[in-house]
Amino acid sequence: MTANPGGTPTIVLVGHGMVGQRFLEALAERGLTATHRVVVLCEEPRPAYDRVQLTSYFSGRTPEDLSLTDLRFIEEHGIELHVGDPAESIDRGARKVTARSGLVVGYDVLVLATGSYPFVPPVPNKDAEGCFVYRTVEDVLAIEEYARSRAKTGAVVGGGLLGLEAAGALKGLGLASHIVEFAPRLMPVQVDEGGGAALLRTIEEMGLTVHTGVGTQEIVVDASGAVTGMKLSDGSELATDLVVFSAGVRPRDQLARDCGLEVGERGGITVDEQCRTVTDPNVFAVGECALAADGRVYGLVAPGYEQAETAAAAIAGDARAFTGADLSTKLKLLGVDVASFGDAHGTTEDCLDVVYSDSRAGLYKKLVVGRDGTLLGGILVGDAEAYGTLRALTGSVPPVAPESLVLPAGAGQSAQLGPSALPDDAVICSCHNVTKGTIRGAVTEHRCTTVPEVKKCTRAGTGCGSCVKVLGRLVDAELEASGVEVDRGLCGCFSQTREELYEIVLALRITSYQDLLDRYGREGARGGEGCEICKPAVASIIASLAPAIGASTYVLDGEQAALQDTNDHFLANLQKNGSYSVVPRIPGGEIAPEKLIVIGEIARDFGLYTKITGGQRIDMFGARVEQLPLIWARLVDAGFESGHAYGKSLRTVKSCVGQTWCRYGVQDSVRMAIDLELRYRGLRSPHKLKSAVSGCQRECAEARSKDFGVIATANGWNLYVGGNGGATPRHADLLAQDLSDAELIRLIDRFLMFYIRTADRLERTSTWLERIPGGLEHVRDVVVHDSLGICDELEALMAAHVANYRDEWAETVNDPERLARFVSFVNAPDTPDPVVSFVPERDQIKPDLPLLDIGRRPADEILEGSAQR
């Protein structure tokens, strides 16, 4: 079959990945889709998707969630998209491309965006059953299917970006996971020895085993040809059921070779600065298949986007050149922030390093600085919060000392730079090469007043997303500089901030969300139903202040029930298959044998999955909603109460064994942890709260990674605040030291109530401490020295909470009206949810989540289904 070109010039795009999709968008922006016929030949059975976020499939995102293709865009611009039908040959003389289906398309311009393929080392049995690569959605689906049915241990060959992503995927599938890296450290291209050491420690603490400085010699197989292990170059053998090769990629240039286009010695289609092949002026190459004019093959999405835009410009007759790209990267690998920018390895002659390292916390920060003070580059591991600002300052002399930029907040000479410190030519969004000046212009010239509007206007923040936080600060700063009042209201319903709403509720004793909305909501919002932002935020404020303002302390009474998130609505955490977890409180991790037996009996009788958590509790997973009251009735009868794992409230106060048992202990940390957990249990707050008490400076309870942490000294207790061991790790800061028991509790009371009073919605103490004007010193002045004269009020509010605490589950199981909510279907209360099902795993259960079959459907069916959605 031969396509009929008619009289319209035709552009054929071979490959529809992230860069291919950006090329189509660039064509549309320049009006070329209106003047040209555009045909796309896509090898994969689905349109372009976000390959960078591939691992997020294992945390619940579907292949459709990863899609980058708006099919309305394809339809509106008349683009002919053929998925699952790759190009198989090119006849440059006749200017025709032949696809696998037999389709022949004539072209005036041909653009190759064929990407790359995974490199598999030439080791024996590399193609054995159980060996995979990690590149596409199909690869992910195949790995998942094999892991679920055939494997308990997995190994990844390669410790680079994709290797760590693949290891995270195997870990997410429940496999004991190994990483084998030939280089002496992980991520050898992006980080140096210090960064690699910090990354290694953090990854090993997650339970992964890392083998560096060794190569793979052979894949060991059994009689059936399935993988059973790996032989390594140091003579050792690693037992594994599944192997993922992630040892780098190579340009997919075979199609170009076959039609006589010039390729580089080490691969890649040779192109000039307009991304036009040096062999044929009618053929372009962009992305990972292209060898750029500077002699490099770029493996990052941002340079690929720039090449796509350059090629589109050349086709439109515009003068634009691709002469190189920023190789800065910011990623979250296995939950760890890793970033590098500029001359990260200090290859520039006569440069200096500024380094901050905390190996115990997994933090490593290095800046490369020239003799004249110019910031040349850097590496950030464990905390990449400053990445956007530092990358934008690269090539200039920062307005503050370099060492102050890598110190943690609150540590001596640390400094925070605002948007005003950045020059106008600083690149804020490296994915789309958007400068600060362009963003300012979007606000001042194009009248954009919100981040979404600026995104739409400039494309900044629409790539990897790492610049969005800096983008928001820039937009606000520019609006304020223009004399525009920045709307800092909680949401579209309230013009007040959360802190202002807290003060209104407290001062006027408002106990109803609807009353607050009707009296203080924005014009147009009054009398309405509110939104999903303000309803839970106001519910949290009312719950925090309930005893002081005369509201019900039971969060599901009356109107409060309708304001709660799903988890609070059923007093349990919703899990991925629709079941719930049951988490009884175990203060200090201390539990009597009788209570252990009760938990075991309940888990056995209801068939629940049990796990001892890092917060010193026993979680039980897999309860159906109608089973929750039955389970909790038995727990309450045995003396347990809610652990509030579902609420924005105190979770646990972790502890070591302290001086009672440990020969190093200097205080009774268990007793203090129990006292604190029982005092602050049920305290509703803007975000969840975690705490810990260590009985000595050896810090076994990891108190400095908590919202408030306590470490024993020979003279009493040291109190640390604002720590976070989560997605953005932060060491807590010392607030006060050598405190007595009474002094410690008094300061924690004040600190928590001041945080609840002034924090934004969903703002963790770590973020709040860095945002609040004056930072730690201001908090110390207020909490320790009572500079605002409010400490008596803060203490009274906490005392009211402690005096009025009631266990939510104890009140629920004894109230028939409250029990009525615990059904899957209101109109069929006796019918269990048929979606909630399980399969066995390691003598317990796990959710039965069927494999998605999108990768196995015909291409036209995918497009039709997507259009219907």
Q: What is the mean pLDDT of residues 264-276?
A: 95
Least confidently predicted of 172-181, 229-238, 571-580, 607-616: 571-580
Q: Which of 221, 247, 273 is the last residue of a domain?
A: 247
Q: Are residues 639 and 765 in the same domain?
A: yes
Classify residue 816: in a domain, yes or no.
no
Strongest mean pLDDT among 210-224, 385-399, 417-431, 434-448: 210-224
* Domain around 675: 573-804
- pLDDT of 858 strictly over 50: no
Classify residue 388: in a domain, yes or no.
no
Please tell me the distance from the alpha carbon of residue 16 to that of residue 23, in angstroms, as a whole number: 9
Strongest mean pLDDT among 32-41, 138-147, 766-775: 32-41
Q: What is the mean pLDDT of residues 446-473?
A: 78
792, 783 in Cβ contact below 8 A? no
130, 150 in Cβ contact below 8 A? yes
Q: Are residues 175 and 256 in the same domain?
A: no
pLDDT tier for residue 671 given thresholds of 50, 70 and 90: very high
Q: For residue 784, what pLDDT is reported?
A: 94
Strongest mean pLDDT among 185-199, 479-493, 581-595: 581-595
Classify residue 850: in a domain, yes or no.
no
Q: For residue 674, what pLDDT is reported?
A: 95
Q: Are residues 734 and 658 in the same domain?
A: yes
105, 99 in Cβ contact below 8 A? yes
For 453-512, give the secondary structure using H, E and C: HHHHHHCCCCCCCCCHHHHHHHHHHHHHHCCCCCCCCCCCCCCCCHHHHHHHHHHHCCCC
**Is residue 79 exposed (0-12), middle (13-18) or buried (19+ Cβ within 10 Å)?**
buried
- pLDDT of 867 strictly over 50: no
Q: What is the mean pLDDT of residues 393-401?
A: 83
- pLDDT of 450 strictly over 60: yes
Q: Are residues 664 and 684 in the same domain?
A: yes
Classify residue 403: in a domain, yes or no.
no
pLDDT tier for residue 668 given thresholds of 50, 70 and 90: very high
Q: Which of 282, 315, 348 is the last residue of a domain?
A: 315
Q: For residue 420, what pLDDT is reported?
A: 67
Q: What are phi and psi of 418, to 5 degrees?
A: -90, 175
CATH number at residue 142: 3.50.50.60
Q: For residue 408, what pLDDT is reported?
A: 64
- pLDDT of 608 strictly over 60: yes
Classify residue 298: in a domain, yes or no.
yes
pLDDT tier for residue 861 given thresholds of 50, 70 and 90: very low
- pLDDT of 623 strictly over 70: yes
> What is the chain's mean pLDDT, rounded?
87
Helix axes 741-758, 498-508, angle to 10 degrees: 110
What domain count does the chain have? 4
Q: Indicate left, alpha or beta for 382 from its phi (over 0: left) and psi (-120 to 50: alpha).
A: left
- Cβ count within 10 A of residue 485: 7
pLDDT tier for residue 464 given thresholds of 50, 70 and 90: low
Least confidently predicted of 37-46, 76-85, 165-174, 405-414: 405-414
Classify residue 398: in a domain, yes or no.
no
Least confidently predicted of 57-66, 553-562, 654-663, 859-868: 859-868
Please tell me the distance from the alpha carbon of residue 530 to that of residue 492, in angstroms, as a whole number: 9
Q: Are residues 70 and 202 in the same domain?
A: no
Q: Are residues 687 and 794 in the same domain?
A: yes
Q: Are residues 553 and 680 in the same domain?
A: no
CATH number at residue 742: 3.30.413.10
Q: For residue 614, what pLDDT is reported?
A: 83
pLDDT, tens only, 54-68:
777 766 677 787 888
The proportion of the chain whose per-residue pLDDT surpasses 70, expressed as a percent, equals 93
Least confidently predicted of 236-245, 494-503, 814-823: 814-823
Q: For residue 350, what pLDDT is reported?
A: 82
Least confidently predicted of 69-73, 158-162, 727-731: 727-731
Q: Bigger pLDDT: 411 or 23?
A: 23
Q: What is the mean pLDDT of residues 261-280?
A: 95
Q: For residue 742, what pLDDT is reported?
A: 95
Q: Are residues 655 and 704 in the same domain?
A: yes
Q: For residue 753, what pLDDT is reported?
A: 96
pLDDT tier for residue 859 given thresholds of 50, 70 and 90: very low
Classify residue 242: in a domain, yes or no.
yes
Q: Which of 564, 581, 606 is the last residue of a domain?
A: 564
**Helix ranges, 280-366 (H):** 301-315
- pLDDT of 336 strictly over 80: no
Q: For residue 730, what pLDDT is reported?
A: 85
- pLDDT of 306 strictly over 50: yes
For 81-101, give the secondary structure using H, E and C: EEECCCEEEEECCCCEEEECC
Q: What is the mean pLDDT of residues 270-299?
A: 94
- pLDDT of 416 strictly over 70: no
Least confidently predicted of 154-168, 379-393, 584-598, 728-742: 379-393
**Is residue 831 exposed (0-12), middle (13-18) or buried (19+ Cβ within 10 Å)?**
exposed
Classify residue 332: in a domain, yes or no.
no
Edge-first strand order for the sheet with 104-106 is: 87-91, 96-99, 104-106
Q: Are residues 33 and 169 in the same domain?
A: no
Least confidently predicted of 35-39, 285-289, 716-720, 848-852: 848-852
Q: For residue 863, what pLDDT is reported?
A: 36
Q: Are residues 681 and 697 in the same domain?
A: yes
Q: For residue 57, what pLDDT is reported?
A: 74
Q: Are residues 147 and 242 in the same domain?
A: yes
Q: Are residues 90 and 16 in the same domain?
A: yes
